[in-house]
């Protein structure tokens, strides 16, 4: 394979993996921007979306309907988690809120083990068939779904945050919850919606990711790998998610090819460590937010 084909292969693989990371990182950023909570249960919602998709698929539901039900379920559970576990202790310390989300992640994983067990599952790709060839580089057909769905969600959220009344209220709440509340914004509804959007994105990532791997309740660990994406891009910046996700995914691919496949598992954290040493608030984040964290 020529150097040009190798570079193209790394770029294609990086786009697919980066699309998954971007969707998961999106959830971290939205929840933190609006509620100032870091949700360490994000990976478990990825797991939940994947397992629910398997369950609905086994019931013989059409793919679009199963996908829609997964997203509705993930969004509803996310909003419920905010209402039941986060809302009653909104004034608690940052550490307390983080511990609550860690507890939620453990509870979700335990529930998944009880319901689905430990045996691995397999979710067939949405578009079976041979991979697509670009010269000597290849792209699996599922990768097209990842790219298309991720692009659609980011474009949809851009329109939501810039054009809709609720989206503008969420941006106002992210800037200053107190001023937003004084201006008549129902910030409690905004908080619940932010969690619903976050878990919607995580559930989507889970469905897309599950078609490429053997599936079990432990795949939620990908949430920890995607957490550096949010910090590298800027924990309060939606603009930084995509470049951070693509950069980390590309470096992972290079580590697999030229160093050691095992090293790729720690690449996101090495990138995060480097970013914290150079620019702790991330590519597009603000200095003040890092001081809060």
**How many whole angstroms separate alpha carbon 180 and alpha carbon 226?**
30
pLDDT tens digits for range 70-126: 999 999 999 999 999 998 887 778 888 889 999 999 999 999 889 888 777 777 777
Q: Where are the alpha helices (DSSP H) in 36-140?
A: 42-58, 63-81, 94-116
Q: CB under 8 Å, gap of 24 or more: what pairs does 56-64 form?
A: 57/123, 63/126
Nearest C-alpha neighbor of 183 from the set 168, 195, 197, 193:
168
Asked if 47 and 220 count as a contact pair (C-beta separation under 8 A), the reply is yes
pLDDT tens digits for range 183-208: 888 988 999 999 999 999 999 999 88
All structural domains of the chain, each given as residue ranges with its CATH number in brackets, are 7-292 (1.10.3470)
Whole-number average pLDDT of the chain: 86
**How many whole angstroms separate alpha carbon 153 and alpha carbon 199?**
13
pLDDT at 289: 53
Nearest C-alpha neighbor of 236 from the set 177, 169, 289:
289
């Amino acid at each position: 394979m020529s150097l040009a084909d190798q570079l193209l292969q790394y770029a294609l693989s990086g786009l697919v993996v980066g699309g998954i990371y971007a969707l998961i990182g999106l959830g971290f950023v939205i929840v933190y921007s609006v509620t100032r909570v870091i949700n360490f249960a994000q990976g478990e919602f990825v797991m939940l979306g994947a397992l629910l998709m398997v369950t609905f698929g086994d019931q013989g539901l059409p793919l679009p309907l199963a996908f829609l039900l997964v997203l509705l379920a993930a969004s509803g559970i996310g909003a419920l988690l905010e209402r039941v576990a986060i809302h009653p202790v909104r004034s608690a310390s940052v550490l307390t809120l983080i511990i609550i989300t860690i507890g939620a992640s453990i509870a979700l994983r335990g529930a998944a083990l009880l319901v689905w067990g430990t045996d691995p599952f397999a979710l067939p790709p949405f578009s079976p068939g041979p991979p697509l060839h670009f010269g000597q580089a290849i792209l699996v057909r599922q990768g097209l779904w990842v790219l298309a769905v991720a692009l659609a969600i980011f474009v949809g959220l851009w329109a939501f945050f810039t054009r809709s009344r609720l989206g503008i209220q969420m941006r106002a709440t992210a800037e200053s919850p107190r001023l937003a509340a004084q201006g008549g914004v129902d910030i409690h509804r905004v908080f619940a919606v932010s969690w619903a959007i976050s878990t919607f994105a995580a559930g989507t990532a889970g469905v897309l990711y599950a078609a490429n791997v053997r599936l079990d309740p432990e795949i939620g660990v990908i949430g920890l790998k995607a957490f550096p994406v949010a910090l590298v891009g800027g924990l309060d910046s939606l603009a930084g998610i995509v470049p951070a996700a693509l950069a980390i995914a590309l470096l992972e691919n290079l580590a697999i090819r030229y160093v050691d496949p095992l090293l790729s598992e720690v690449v996101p954290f090495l990138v995060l460590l480097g970013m914290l040493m150079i620019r702790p608030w991330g590519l597009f984040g603000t200095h003040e937010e890092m001081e809060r964290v």
